[in-house]
Amino acid sequence: MNIRRVLVANRGEIAARIIRTCRNLGIETALAASEADLDAVPARLADHIVCIGPAHASQSYLNVDAVVRAAAAAKADAVHPGYGFLAENVRLARACREHGIVFIGPTEAQLEAVGDKMQARAHAVAAGLPVVPGGPVGSPAEAAALAKVIGVPLLVKAVAGGGGRGMKLVTDAARTAETADLAMAEAGAAFADPRVYLERFVIAGRHVEVQIVGDGGDVVHLGDRDCSVQRRHQKLVEEAPAPGLPETTRAAMHEAAIAFGRHLGYRGLGTVEFLLDRDCGVFYFLEMNARIQVEHPVTEAITGLDLVAEQIAIAEGRPLRLRQQDIRFHGHAIECRLNAENWTHDFRPSPGTVTTAVFPAGAGIRVDTHIEGGARVPPFYDSLLAKIVAHGANRGSAIERMKSALASCRVDGVATNRDMHLFLLALPEFLRGGMDTPFFARALQRREGDGGRPS
């Protein structure tokens, strides 16, 4: 089938990014927007706009019925959920099917298979992928018993969690039971699902992920990304390809990701995430994100592909347009997430009105944003203002381009983390590459110890 009109069920920069690709493909767009976003840039870019409810996400962007009603009202052939909100929601995929609307994403069965972390872990084992030692626990007592088997440090993780929520570190085995009890209560309140599992904590771990795309039969990979620069499990900087990775390890990760996709008969765009133990070089399956990722532009930069266009083609029922041998990788790309937050005051959110917005441009620079002078940054949503991407012939040139791009970036009216990125890019450990996930926390501690001066 040919998709003629897409309802974009999201907001911010990803909504604007999806609309632009649809426009390039000659596809009309309707934007599902909350009352807080009716005058935002994506609303002006879309061909049509449908208000789906009040500002709070629970009454708008997370309301499956409202999204489906908006798609019907807009006479949309398909719904693109972007990332976050309902992007991996089985109920939305099912409701779309029941109303004869194409869901631009994986099948309902695949969303269920990878949306539950324990199911995803079982599928990974069935596909032959290595998993971190651990398992599900049904009570604090079971958690204490399993902790004796896998040892500490370990993580207690909510089965339905994400983005670091419902995750707790245990360094003293004697505190496993009470930590698990707390995590279960927290998970039940946050996700209406109190289930948790334990996982050995890899101290010097790198977060490396592989982008795959499948048509329900064939699966190919589009390279890897390093997302180890994180704060409280939230990614800050991403790059492709992962620097300093032995080629044998890289190839093994690619093969594992494809094996997982083939095991699922995967359809659409997805990311298989791995934890690499930097000390011994062993990697483990972490999870799969069955949607487009925030960091997808770095993959687009090194492959020259439009991943949203690939999503739409697959949703239209077309076979993969790519063979593995046809995919070529060029240079290195880095993405910095520009957020509305005061990074020198514990990353306090900074909603408000943007008075000035000047973003970089030039060779090898891409900016995905929905912000301009006069734009409002509501307090209800994620603080992401823009994604700044620098692409160069190698990692060194990409870093230099990023430094120049950030230096020329100016956003006034709200606090941003721009200077944090400049601080990070100057650190010797970052310049060497191959950071582990605790890297950023160490960097902040050193900065505070030096009175705020870069180390």
User: CA 187 to CA 85: how far, in whole Å?
Assistant: 18
> Is 278 assigned a catalytic role?
no
What pairing do the DSSP bridges indicate for beta strands 205-215 and 196-200? Answer: unpaired
Residue 400, H or E segment: helix 395-407
Residue 346, Cβ density class (10 Å: 0-12 exposed, 13-18 middle, ≥19 buried): exposed
Which residue in the list 291, 366, 401, 418 is annotated as catalytic? 291
Count of residues making up the chain: 455
Beta-carbon neighbour count of residue 126 at 10 Å?
11
Question: Is 132 within 8 Å of 146 (Cβ atoms)?
Answer: no
- Both tokens of 340, joined, read 């509305």
User: CA 49 to CA 385: how far, in whole Å?
Assistant: 21
3-state secondary structure of 368: strand
| Concatenated DSSP letters of 266-300 | -EEEEEEEEEEETTT--EEEEEEE-S--TTHHHHH
User: CA 360 to CA 358: how far, in whole Å?
Assistant: 7
User: CA 245 to CA 45: how far, in whole Å?
Assistant: 40
Amino acid symbol at 351: P
| Of 274, 236, 287, 231, nearest in space to 111 by CA | 287
Beta-carbon neighbour count of residue 297 at 10 Å?
21
User: CA 286 to CA 206: how far, in whole Å?
Assistant: 11
User: CA 223 to CA 39: how far, in whole Å?
Assistant: 37
> Catalytic site residues?
291
